[in-house]
Structure 1
Amino acid sequence: MTSTAATPARSDRSTPRPTGPDAEAWAAQLRAANINPRTGLATDYLNHFNEAIMLLEMIPDIPECAEDFMSWRPLSYAEHFTASNFKARDLAILAYEAADTRIRAEFDNIASTMTSILTAVSSAMREVSQDKTRATLAEQATIWVKPLVSLAGGIINGGTDADVETIMAGN
């Protein structure tokens, strides 16, 4: 499955980060908007994935939630902020574009992995009709995606050398 949903609409462009005296003002502006000035990323994007996880967690007890989960659609970072009520959404997109390409690539890779898992599980749920099978799919997807959300949060918050194996072994 090829998915570009986790890459922003303008991923081919990079916005230069301010330097010198402007860098301090830029960092203050990002902090005020709840965007990490070291990474240029905002945790608000993770709400998109947390919404899917919440629906998945409800499926075993409320099977009708499977329909809600199957209507979840992947959004890139820029698409998420464009569609959100985030007060500094344009700044969030600009900061993302100005983020260090290594950090952004690592973050995008994790977002793409989460998107792939969630869309594959959604497709699988469409193919089955038994609530028990859907509940099993939901429980497994939650086990896979939750640690990735934590890993993405670590990147957003400036974590370095994230160890996927350690995080995944924690479940």
Structure 2
Amino acid sequence: MECLHPVLGAGELAADRLEEANINPQTGLATDYLNHFNEVMMLLEMLPDMPDCAEDVLEWEPLDYEGHFENSTFKDKALAIQAYHAAPNHLREHLEAQVADINALVGDIQNQLRQTANPAEVAVAIADKATHEIKPLIAIAGAVIHGHVEPDATQHEGEGAQAEIDALFA
């Protein structure tokens, strides 16, 4: 009987093959995905010194894991997508929850930029929000990719990203 679903550690998804491609062999996830969010973080943090970066922030669009790799120059993008599908459900779901929160925060910032005539007026507040709210979520996403999350870990309503980071590394 042929296996219909790829399995981490077997065949194309053998641990050495995944490691060679910079994909975590235990989780099936690649940190390259975080580059998409690190790019917008860099722009947001530069806003106070370079308000003209607002245009680039407004052009940034959310991309899910597969979309990121489909549109990337990542050498082993097909393998990354295949490994993602073989990743444990709880890790994929937790990663997707962090990504949804990041996307929502960036969307809020983009709306704020669209509503202001002068991005310099809101740049410091935006950079602060990015540093204190988005960056911790990117760190949590990185922890998920590296498997540093309990199977039942969830973000609870009312708890901030920093509390979750503290719990991950406690």
TM range (shorter): 0.7 to 0.9
Other-structure match for 1:44:
32
Instruction: Work out the number of aligned pairs and report it.
Output: 155
* Unpaired stretches in structure 2, ≥5 consecutive residues: 156-160
Secondary structure in 2 aligned to 1:68? Answer: helix
> What amino acid is aligned across from residue 67 of structure 1 in structure 2?
E
> Aligned-pair RMSD on alpha carbons?
2.4
SS of alignment partner, residue 39 of structure 1: coil
Question: CA deviation digits over 1:26-62, x for unaligned, max 9?
Answer: 1111111000011000000000000000000110011
TM-score (ref. length: structure 1):
0.82
2:19 to 31, 41, 46: 31
**Does 2:6 align with 1:16?**
yes
Q: Which residue of 1 aligns with 2:158?
A: none
TM-score by length of 2: 0.82
Q: Which has the higher contact order (CA 8 A, sep 6+)?
A: 1
Matched, 1:155 2:144: yes
Which is worse superposed, 97-106 or 154-163?
Answer: 154-163
Distance in 1 between residues matched to 2:47 and 2:166, nearest whole Å: 23
Structure 1 portions without partners, runs of 5+: 1-13
Q: CA deviation at 1:133?
A: 1.6
Identity %: 42
* TM-aligned CA distance change 1:166 to 1:102, over 3 Å: closer
**How far apart in 1 are the matches of 2:71 and 2:55?**
22
Report the counterpart of residue 134 of structure 1 in structure 2.
123
Question: Where does residue 135 of structure 2 map in the other structure?
Answer: 146
Change (3 A) 1:23 1:137: same
Superposition pairs of residues 104-119 of structure 1, within 5 angstroms:
104-119=92-107
| Residues 132, 120 of structure 1: alpha-carbon distance in 2 compared, 3 angstrom cutoff | same
* Counterparts of 1:122 and 1:17, CA distance in 2: 39
